[in-house]
Amino acid sequence: MSTGLFGIEHSNRMPQDHWGKNCFNSSFPTAMACYMMKNNIPAVYNKVVMDETGNLKVVSTEIPIQNVFNCNTVDFCELDFHFETIYKDYQNFSFDPIDGIDLVVKNTKGEYLSPLEVKLTVLPTDSTSRKPEDKWGCELVIRSATTSYCALGMFDAVKKETMSVREIFEDNCASIQNWDNDFEMTHKTPNLSQCLDTFQKKYYLRQKPLLLQAIWKTQGKSPLLAEQAFDIVVWSDYAFSRLFIDSSYNTEDTMSRPMRATARLARCLWELSKSNKIRLMDIYRQMAFGNQTDKEFAINGSKWRKYVTSDRILSPKLSKDVIQEIIEPGYIERLSPERRFDQSLYFTYRT
């Protein structure tokens, strides 16, 4: 039975499940990525580089979808898309069960290829819609599962160099007596941020895709799709981490969400460098600092635009008409018009 979505031929979801409220937001971006792969259209790629002064900087380049899926020459019809599932290779780093991630890409032989967090976001946000179009941005709301996969992916890329990694973090991390003490961690997190900077300067060439963000652009605050309406921004694990590390240097009276995410990342890398296996979920539960444990932090549209500098945000790569190739005829009726993206499709194609 057809799923109604381009490229998703093998999946752990039943065909009808792709259209549910909590499923379409990851199924549709996956189908869009398959369409772009089929048509040799690269995604925008936010990655970390070292600038001429030796500082870390996030830049927007491009990346083939094949590299995002880590599938080399394998066609999308030979890929198996598993949603909200655990990436088995990373489970080896934790004694306790790790969370699932939005999308695990496997091949039809059952080999694990890539774990990806998936977001479907509108451009512009309400606040940035009042600005000039070149200042429009998207909002990102990040789960703790995403930052934990960020930590696991970073370590996986350097797991054969544990002594070097431990040397970077040892002095500052070993001096911490209580990782859940708000006062102590508020004052020591800036030092952990510096450790993470040192780590990334040494290993930034090993960064890899983590977050697949599909964007759909409207005509300002109108529900109508823009003429050039769709694109994908992929964040490497290193670029993604800058969203909270860069904000963690400002010492506050209490632990902010970016500081918490930074401290968790540093602790995970340090403890993994010592033993190769940790109690990951215990770390995340312990270091809550009075905040929700499922929501890590949020990025507003203006801050997002400072990191995503590609001209493709002004003119996304795919036109609004591509929706008719990504979604098979008759399937738009399965959507729920109370959801904002579904409304845009209804207004655009059913009026």
Condensed to tens digits (0 to 9), the pLDDT of residues 131-143 reads 999 999 999 999 9
| Lookup result for tokens 């995604």 | 43
Distance CA 135, CA 164 (A): 41
Q: What is the pLDDT of residues 321-342, one digit of tens each?
A: 999 999 998 888 787 655 667 7
Instruction: Please compute the mean of the pLDDT values over residues 278-285 and round it to a whole number.
Output: 91
Q: How far is C-alpha 27 from the chain's CA centre? A: 15
Report the DSSP beta bridge partners of residue 118. Answer: 212
| Lookup result for tokens 């990851």 | 26
pLDDT at 350: 57
Please, what is the end-to-end C-alpha distance for the chain in angstroms? 28
Distance CA 248, CA 244 (A): 6
Contact assessment for residue 100 and residue 86, using Cβ atoms and an 8 Å cutoff: yes
Report the DSSP beta bridge partners of residue 260. Answer: none
pLDDT surpasses 80 at 10: yes
Contact assessment for residue 200 and residue 48, using Cβ atoms and an 8 Å cutoff: yes
Q: What is the pLDDT of residues 156-172, one digit of tens each?
A: 999 999 999 999 999 99
The token pair at 59 is 């830049």
R_g (Cα) of the chain, nearest Å: 20
Sign of the CA dihedral 337, 342, 347, 351?
Answer: negative
Centre a 10 Å sphere on the Cβ of residue 179 and count the other Cβ atoms it contains: 16
Give the pairing of strands 112-123 and 225-236: unpaired
Contact assessment for residue 348 and residue 24, using Cβ atoms and an 8 Å cutoff: no
DSSP code of 99? Answer: P
Identify the helix (H) or strand (E) that includes residue 79.
strand 79-85
Contact assessment for residue 27 and residue 341, using Cβ atoms and an 8 Å cutoff: no
Nearest CA to 203 out of 157, 258, 254, 252 is that of: 157
Distance CA 267, CA 276 (A): 13
Residues above pLDDT 70, as percent of the chain: 95
State the amino acid at position 53 in one-letter form.
T
pLDDT at 196: 98
Q: How far is C-alpha 35 from the chain's CA centre? A: 20
Contact assessment for residue 70 and residue 42, using Cβ atoms and an 8 Å cutoff: no
pTM of the model: 0.95
Residue 315 main-chain phi, psi, to 5 deg: -135, 85
